[in-house]
Structures are given as C-alpha cells and as structure tokens.
C-alpha cells in the first residue's frame, strides 16, 4: 500500500521504517532538512536498537523515501500523522505541529484517502481535525490510531504491538477506515495481535490514560520507597512480594529516580490541563501528586549526596553514571539523571558524567557538565558515585575495580540496579532507593 508518514521524530521515523518493513511503499516527510538527509542516507537520527537495520533494508529495497516536500505524499491511501505534541507553557499540549501538519497536508489529499493520527493529543482534537479535513477535502477523512511504543523497543512495539487501537467514526467511513488499517497491519494482525475498534475520543483517551496509569504505578512504588526509607524496609522486596499478585503485576514497580522522557511527564500534565478545560479538574487531581512524588525522587538524591558528603557537595568530585532517561536510549528529555547531574553542578560539585549513548544529546542541553569517555574515567578519584540510569554496562561493573579507582567508596544506586552485597563486600557504602 502507498503510505505517507508526516513527522520523522522518534515515532515517525520508526513508524515509516516499520511500514516499509511490513512491505508498504512509504514516503516520509519532515520539515527538518538535516533530519531528512540523514534518514535518506540510512542514518538513524537517534539511538534506537534495530532502527538502523530496518532503515538500511527499507532504503535498499526502494520501499521508502524521505523528503521535505509535502507534495510528494500525493496519491498515498493512508497518511500517518506522527508529529510531536510537546508540553506548552501552561502544561497543556502544544498542538502547533499537529495543526501545521494537517494544514500542509490537506492541499495534497485526495477523496477516499485517510489521515491517520498517531500523535498523542488532548481528547477532542481528533474530532476537530476530522471536521477540518472533511471540510477542506470532500471525501477525505481522519481517524486515530494511537501508538504505544517504548523507546528502546520501538521497532518491536511498532511491528508487534500489544494491541492495535483504531478510533473511527460510525458508519461507512469508519468501516472503510477499519478495512484499510487492517490491510496496513495485515502482517501484525496475522500474528494474533488484538485489535480494538473504538470511537475517536476513546482512542485518544486510551493513549493518555495508559500513560497516566503507568506513571501512577511508578509513583506508587516511589511513595512506598519514601515510607520504606523511614521505617527501614526494602521497597524492592516489597515490589517483588506485591508483584506476585497477578492483579498488581511486577512490571513498572521499580522504585528509583522516577519517570522521565518525552512521554510520561508531559502526558500527565497535558491530561490534567485537558480535564481542567473539560470542567472535571477533580477527576485527575491525583496526577498532581503523581507528578510531585516523581519530582521528589530527584530532590531526594541531591539531598542524599549532600548528606553523604558532609552537608555540601561544593568542591567534591562526583561520578555520574547514566544521563539518558532510561537505558537503551540516548534520549535526555526530562531525564531525572541529567537533571540531578546539573543540579549537583549548580551546588558547586565537579561532576564527571558518563553515559554509553547519551553524552552527545546531554551536552546539547548542559554543555557546562564535564563529560568523560568511560565509566572508568568517571570513577577515577570520585568522592561519590551516582548510578542514575540502569545500563547493563553499570550493572556489570566490577565493584572491586571501582573501589580501586574512587577516592571515597560510597555509591548511590538511583535505580536499585546494582548488586548491593557485591558492592558492600568490595568496601563501598551502598545507598539504594527505598531500601
């Protein structure tokens, strides 16, 4: 099928390459010529395992092309909308890019074609855009097909997702949209992927409520970590124990520095802003607590570092291992790790920061930090070690070697990812999160 993908960020670039992998003929558009040039050369503009491989394969097969010229989408049956919806100044989602993409796309749309929204938008956006598309191009329609991809697993989550959700209008248009999307996802559906057909507002809500739930689950366990710290309990053992209850489940119960990244933080804020607009602020008032618990984790680590170093970090050398908001990603958007590193520097510490993939992206946001080439370089002469992103490389560090490098063997395990006993046996004072 001829498909266009508008927006080549984390979502769009992966979606475009994945659609080509599924055998479709894809044209991918972005307003950023540098990004388009890199993608056309087979270079992924961010670190995402598996993306370079499917990109190279798609380019070699001739099934994908990248352009900044929206006119090239003409003739595609399905136009996926995959632009960003960043957090605006009030916390509400900024729909500038979505509106601009739809406005740029409509002159090239034909009757019978479908615009398929994938971006995370405030509930009600799809209905508004659908009306705009129908008014501009008689016979064209807009439906919503939210994505749930996790960075680091984006290719797998796109090709073999947990579920497909189609938000479509009632009647004949909806039936045509379902048939077309079934064709787009034929391979995925053949694997037995559940597919749910819902209306437009439900589709929009599925996405934001899934992220709100995940954020709540993480903040729940982090609240338990706060309690555990006061009473001397171990939150990891607690998570294991409650996680055995199938109704609760162990996933997303890892206490630590909390959530960051390009989705969860902004999505819970945008969702609250939307609830306020809809006149039901109380319904999502709890998300303010979810956000506050999450941000407190960062304060806690900064305070712990100060306490360990005798009240102030000024003049102390701190090794920061990890800058990305989670492992297997170079994304530092709203990264708890990078935030903590920058705050420690602000308090007068010398911060030697290392991340296996995110140094380049971190440097763009915080050029003032000292970035080093390896974990060894970071550890050398450190007065305190902070592990802030749970990369395997850090889990596998030999604590005896680490002990021989640092000047003061104290480690804060911000992700509860180290072997506490092994680090303690190597002479480290170990401080975990809620344990």
User: Which residues participate in catalysis according to the annotation?
Assistant: 263
Q: Does 258 bind ligand UDX (CB under 6 A)?
A: yes
Q: How many residues bind ligand UDX (CB under 6 A)?
A: 19
Q: Does 271 bind ligand UDX (CB under 6 A)?
A: no
Q: Does 256 bind ligand UDX (CB under 6 A)?
A: yes
* Rounded Cα–Cα distance for residues 271 and 93 (Å): 8
Q: Does 211 bind ligand UDX (CB under 6 A)?
A: yes
We find the least distance from the C-beta atom of residue 63 to ligand UDX, in angstroms, to be 25
> How many CB atoms are located within 10 Å of the residue 360 CB?
13
* Rounded Cα–Cα distance for residues 431 and 85 (Å): 37
> How many CB atoms are located within 10 Å of the residue 45 CB?
18
Q: Of 80, 148, 220, 394, which lies in the binding site for ligand UDX, with binding defined by CB under 6 A?
A: 148
Q: CA quadruple 332, 335, 339, 345: dihedral positive or negative?
A: negative
Q: Of 206, 264, 341, 379, which lies in the binding site for ligand UDX, with binding defined by CB under 6 A?
A: 264
* Rounded Cα–Cα distance for residues 351 and 100 (Å): 41
Q: Of 169, 261, 322, 432, which lies in the binding site for ligand UDX, with binding defined by CB under 6 A?
A: 261
Under 8 Å between Cβ of 430 and 424: yes
What residues contact 23, with CB distance under 8 A and at least 6 apart?
63, 187
Q: Does 265 bind ligand UDX (CB under 6 A)?
A: no
Q: Of 93, 165, 218, 224, which lies in the binding site for ligand UDX, with binding defined by CB under 6 A?
A: 218
- Residue span binding ligand UDX (CB under 6 A) among the ranges 39-47, 250-258, 304-312, 340-348: 250-258
Q: Of 214, 270, 313, 379, which lies in the binding site for ligand UDX, with binding defined by CB under 6 A?
A: 214
Q: Does 9 bind ligand UDX (CB under 6 A)?
A: no
The footprint of ligand UDX on residues 101-140 (CB under 6 A) is none
Choose between 105 and 206: whose C-beta lies nearer to ligand UDX: 206
* Rounded Cα–Cα distance for residues 81 and 141 (Å): 13
* Three-state SS letters, 28-69: EECCCHHHHHHHHCCCCCCCCCCHHHHHHHHHHHCCEEEECC
Helices and strands, counts by H and E, the chain = 18, 14
We find the least distance from the C-beta atom of residue 149 to ligand UDX, in angstroms, to be 5
We find the least distance from the C-beta atom of residue 362 to ligand UDX, in angstroms, to be 15
- Residue span binding ligand UDX (CB under 6 A) among the ranges 15-23, 58-66, 83-91, 255-263: 255-263
Q: Does 326 bind ligand UDX (CB under 6 A)?
A: yes
Which residue's C-beta sits nearest to ligand UDX?
263
For the chain, how many residues are written?
435
* Rounded Cα–Cα distance for residues 43 and 20 (Å): 16
Among residues 17, 428, 431, the alpha carbon closest in space to that of 257 is found at 431
We find the least distance from the C-beta atom of residue 147 to ligand UDX, in angstroms, to be 6
Beta bridge mates, 317: 350
Q: Does 412 bind ligand UDX (CB under 6 A)?
A: no
Residues of this chain that interact with ligand UDX (CB under 6 A) are: 148-151, 211, 214, 218, 252-254, 256, 258-261, 263-264, 325-326
């Amino acid at each position: 099928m001829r498909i266009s993908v508008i927006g080549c960020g984390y979502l769009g670039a992966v979606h475009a390459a994945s659609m080509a992998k599924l055998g479709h003929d894809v044209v991918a558009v972005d307003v950023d010529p540098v990004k388009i040039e890199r993608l056309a050369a087979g270079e992924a503009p961010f670190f995402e395992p598996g993306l370079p491989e499917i990109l190279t394969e798609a380019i070699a097969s001739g099934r994908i092309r990248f352009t900044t010229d929206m006119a090239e989408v003409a003739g595609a049956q399905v136009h996926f909308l995959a632009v960003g919806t960043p957090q605006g100044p009030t916390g509400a989602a900024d729909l500038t890019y979505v509106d601009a993409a739809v406005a740029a796309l409509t002159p090239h749309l034909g009757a019978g074609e479908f615009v398929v929204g994938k971006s995370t938008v405030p509930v009600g956006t799809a209905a508004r855009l659908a009306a705009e598309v129908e008014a501009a191009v008689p016979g064209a329609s807009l439906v919503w097909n939210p994505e749930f991809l996790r960075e680091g697993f984006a290719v797998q989550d796109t090709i073999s997702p947990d579920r497909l959700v189609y938000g479509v209008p009632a009647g004949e248009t909806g039936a045509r949209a379902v048939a077309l999307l079934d064709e787009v996802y034929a391979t995925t559906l053949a694997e037995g992927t559940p597919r749910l057909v819902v209306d437009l507002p439900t589709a929009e809500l599925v996405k934001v409520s899934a992220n709100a739930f995940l954020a709540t689950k993480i903040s729940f366990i982090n609240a338990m970590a706060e309690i555990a710290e006061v009473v001397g309990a171990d939150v990891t053992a607690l998570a294991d124990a409650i996680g055995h209850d199938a109704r609760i489940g162990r996933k997303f119960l890892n206490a630590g520095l909390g959530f960051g990244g390009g989705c969860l933080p902004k999505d819970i804020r945008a969702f609250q802003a939307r609830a306020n607009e809809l006149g039901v602020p109380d319904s999502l008032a709890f998300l303010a607590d979810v956000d506050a618990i999450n941000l407190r984790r960062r304060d806690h680590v900064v305070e712990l570092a100060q306490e360990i170093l005798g009240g102030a970090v000024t003049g102390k050398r701190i090794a920061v291992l990890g800058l990305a908001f989670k492992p297997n990603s170079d994304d530092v958007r709203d990264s708890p790790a990078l935030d903590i590193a920058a705050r420690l520097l602000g308090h007068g510490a010398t911060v030697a920061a290392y991340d296996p993939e995110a140094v380049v992206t971190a440097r763009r946001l915080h050029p003032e930090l000292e970035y080093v080439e390896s974990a060894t370089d970071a550890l050398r002469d450190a007065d305190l070690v902070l592990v802030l992103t749970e990369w395997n490389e850090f889990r596998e560090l030999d604590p005896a070697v680490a002990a021989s490098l640092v000047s003061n063997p104290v480690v804060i395990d911000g992700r509860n990812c180290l072997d506490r006993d092994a680090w303690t046996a190597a002479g480290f004072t170990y401080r975990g999160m809620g344990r």
